[in-house]
Amino acid sequence: MQLDALKALAAADRRIVDLFAKDATRAGSFSASTGDLLFDYSKTQIDEDVRAALLQLCEDAGLATRRDAMFAGKKINETEGRAVLHTALRNLDGGPVDVDGQDVMPGVLDTLHRMRVFAEEVRGGAIAGAGGSFTDVVNIGIGGSDLGPVMATHALATYHDGPRVHYVSNVDGAHIADTLRPLDPARTLVIVASKTFTTIETMTNARTARAWMSEGGGDPSRQFAAVSSALDKTQAFGIPEAHVFGFADWVGGRYSVWGPVGLPVMIAVGSNAFDAFLRGGQAMDLHFRSADWVENMPVMLALVGIWHRQVLGCTSRAVLPYDQRLLRLPAYLQQLEMESNGKSVAMDGSSLAVPSGPVVWGEPGTNGQHAFYQLIHQGTDVIPCEFMVAAEGHEPELTHHHRLLLANCLAQSEALMRGRSLGEARELMAEKGLDGDELDRQARHRVFPGNRPSTTLIYPKLTPFVLGQIIALYEHRVFVEGVLLGINSFDQWGVELGKELANSLGPVVDGVASADGKDGSTAALVAYALKHRN
């Protein structure tokens, strides 16, 4: 990635307020829209010259060719020799998609049909537990087999008219114990979601749930379902074939909510609402494939990210949804972005010559305002903020809440941009009756540097269709950033070493193998744990 031109542009002192003073209509030209979404990046230091240089990066990296290769089912996940086709899962009425000369769409649509039938039968009571229709569904999975459906279930809470849905991910027994305690084992459906069906956390929780169900009068032979691409293993676990929903290796875990991994969401909100979610994703795909780069929302979101991380050197970005039901979106995006682009090796095996993707974090507004925004406004690090907000909420009787929410969201981006100068702070202190050294001292604490960049994604209302658009938007953003960085966004070798070491430490913490050969710290911590447990 050639950043010299951009770094030269970044060296110039560029205040966002001055950009607005020069061009009051800047919001119109430094934004992208599709359907009913508007992405405003005018409150950044990006001007015409910067944008032109950023857009050049797309040409240099051959973005169009890479994008088309992904949609065409080429094996762009080169380190695993796999195609990357989560987009096929939402290609509801699109054309054929070939992998190795075979159209995958009949299989995708067949599985989707089976999911719809299963979900509606669970919702309607035709598929039931030993004690009657299902009151609760427990999804057991972790990472991509958990975060997507958890996020979407929260996001679509107003559409939730099916059984209660719970998620267990952590191998910490507290998670499954606390989740199962209030449930009726004879009226609970357990979905084991694991692409590999080997993940230790998920398989441990699945066995615990199976024992709980058997001991409590439930019937695991009819109350378990599985979502996996390892059909031999789901069979070995004893899950009936009719309750198994497979997906191919060309769907990455963190991109999998659109297919069978989304089954608990479909049970919660129904197959029509789930269809609308898929259609939202598909609409964003069409936009990504056809819009010019400068109007292309995922591309511009990615270029803003590249500008902040690669050019300005910001090490993190905050995702700040002013939408309570998106409370799990930051966690979802952490996996999507950090597992995809947190790499220091380029696709060709060479060391990455530029920084990897940034740390992604966040919390819903307005809560964050009363917690960590202090640092965002006055800390020494610049943290680009990505605000999200709906024009209206789902609570017609509480519109005054929503207006306050929206006002707060807009106020934050304005405050970050404008800041407050020492002169303004001094005036404030003078109005309060201070003078002399005390006025100076107090004023200094009230200075906001301003010129802190943010973007805002605004949408009409958090419907299933809008949610689908937002998630696909971020998926494509990750893809574009990965292409520009020259990395493979679709593998995750960095999680392997910890898994291997956890397996080797299992017998050591069980007390049946010695800690010899382990480092002194690990051995001492094991010794402490063995000494302090019953």
Q: Tell me the three state secondary structure of residue 495.
A: helix
Task: Annotate each residue in 434-473 with x if it binds ligand F6P (CB under 6 A) or - if it does not, as one string.
Answer: ----------------------------------------
Q: Is 402 a catalytic residue?
A: no
Choose one: 42-50, 188-196, 311-319, 449-457; the region binding ligand F6P (CB under 6 A). Answer: 188-196
- The C-alpha atoms of residue 458 and residue 33 are separated, in whole angstroms, by 10
- The C-alpha atoms of residue 69 and residue 76 are separated, in whole angstroms, by 7
- Asked if 84 and 70 touch (Cβ cutoff 8 Å), the reply is yes
Q: Which of 22, 215, 241, 370 is catalytic?
A: 370
We find the least distance from the C-beta atom of residue 218 to ligand F6P, in angstroms, to be 23
Residue owning tokens 């992998």 = 99
Rule CB under 6 A: which of 361-380 touch ligand F6P? none
Q: Does 169 participate in binding ligand F6P (rule CB under 6 A)?
A: no
Question: Quick one: which of 194, 205, 334, 341 contacts ligand F6P (CB under 6 A)?
Answer: 194
Q: Which residue's CB is nearer to ligand F6P, number 275 or number 339?
A: 339
Q: Which residue's CB is nearer to ligand F6P, number 43 or number 254?
A: 254
Residue owning tokens 């066995």 = 207
What's the sign of the alpha-carbon dihedral 65, 71, 76, 77? positive
Q: Which residue's CB is nearer to ligand F6P, number 127 or number 142?
A: 142
Rule CB under 6 A: which of 489-508 touch ligand F6P? 492, 495
Measuring CA to CA, how many Å separate 236 from each of 207, 212, 226, 231?
Answer: 13, 19, 12, 9
Question: Quick one: which of 142, 155, 180, 385 contacts ligand F6P (CB under 6 A)?
Answer: 142
Q: Does 205 participate in binding ligand F6P (rule CB under 6 A)?
A: no
Q: Does 340 participate in binding ligand F6P (rule CB under 6 A)?
A: no
Question: Quick one: which of 44, 145, 341, 488 contacts ligand F6P (CB under 6 A)?
Answer: 145
- The C-alpha atoms of residue 388 and residue 503 are separated, in whole angstroms, by 40
DSSP-assigned letters across all residues of 52-106: HHHHHHHHHTTHHHHHHHHHTT---BTTTTB---GGGGG-TT----EETTEE-HH
Question: Quick one: which of 77, 153, 188, 202 contacts ligand F6P (CB under 6 A)?
Answer: 202
We find the least distance from the C-beta atom of residue 267 to ligand F6P, in angstroms, to be 19
Q: Which residue's CB is nearer to ligand F6P, number 151 or number 306?
A: 151
Choose one: 9-17, 193-201, 269-277, 357-365; the region binding ligand F6P (CB under 6 A). Answer: 193-201
Q: Which residue's CB is nearer to ligand F6P, number 142 or number 300?
A: 142
Q: Which residue's CB is nearer to ligand F6P, number 261 or number 299?
A: 261
198: CB partners within 8 A, 6+ apart: 230, 233
Choose one: 45-53, 152-160, 195-203, 287-295; the region binding ligand F6P (CB under 6 A). Answer: 195-203
- The C-alpha atoms of residue 23 and residue 30 are separated, in whole angstroms, by 11
**How many residues sit close enough to ligand F6P to count as binding (CB under 6 A)?**
14
Token duo for residue 290: 């056809």
Token duo for residue 388: 């999200």
Strands in 160-312 per DSSP E: 164-168, 188-193, 224-228, 244-246
Name the β-bridge partners of 317. 360
Rule CB under 6 A: which of 235-294 touch ligand F6P? 253-254
Amino acid (1-letter code) at residue 366: T
We find the least distance from the C-beta atom of residue 496 to ligand F6P, in angstroms, to be 8
We find the least distance from the C-beta atom of residue 29 to ligand F6P, in angstroms, to be 39
Q: Does 43 participate in binding ligand F6P (rule CB under 6 A)?
A: no
Strands in 100-163 per DSSP E: 102-103, 128-129, 132-133, 136-140
Q: Does 144 participate in binding ligand F6P (rule CB under 6 A)?
A: yes
Choose one: 29-37, 140-148, 240-248, 347-355; the region binding ligand F6P (CB under 6 A). Answer: 140-148
Closest CA to 149 of 263, 253, 3: 263
Q: Does 196 participate in binding ligand F6P (rule CB under 6 A)?
A: yes
DSSP-assigned letters across all residues of 323-386: -GGGTTHHHHHIIIIIIHH--SB-TTSSBPSS--PPEEE---TTGGGGTTHHHHHHSSS---EE
Q: Which residue's CB is nearer to ligand F6P, number 375 or number 495?
A: 495
- The C-alpha atoms of residue 21 and residue 25 are separated, in whole angstroms, by 9
Q: Which residue's CB is nearer to ligand F6P, number 142 or number 318?
A: 142
Q: Which residue's CB is nearer to ligand F6P, number 249 or number 440?
A: 249
- Asked if 365 and 407 touch (Cβ cutoff 8 Å), the reply is no
Q: Is 75 a catalytic residue?
A: no
CA dihedral in degrees (218, 222, 227, 229; nearest 10)? 130
We find the least distance from the C-beta atom of residue 194 to ligand F6P, in angstroms, to be 3
Q: Is 370 a catalytic residue?
A: yes
Strands of the sheet with 316-322, listed across from one edge:
31-34, 37-40, 454-459, 385-390, 316-322, 359-361
Closest CA to 183 of 139, 237, 147: 139
We find the least distance from the C-beta atom of residue 116 to ligand F6P, in angstroms, to be 22
Closest CA to 139 of 217, 214, 232, 228: 228
Question: Quick one: which of 143, 280, 298, 419 contacts ligand F6P (CB under 6 A)?
Answer: 143
Choose one: 64-72, 143-151, 279-287, 452-460; the region binding ligand F6P (CB under 6 A). Answer: 143-151
Q: Which of 195, 287, 337, 339 is catalytic?
A: 339
We find the least distance from the C-beta atom of residue 489 to ligand F6P, in angstroms, to be 12
What is the binding site for ligand F6P (CB under 6 A)?
142-145, 194-196, 199, 202, 253-254, 339, 492, 495
Query: Hey, which residues are catalytic here?
Result: 339, 370, 499
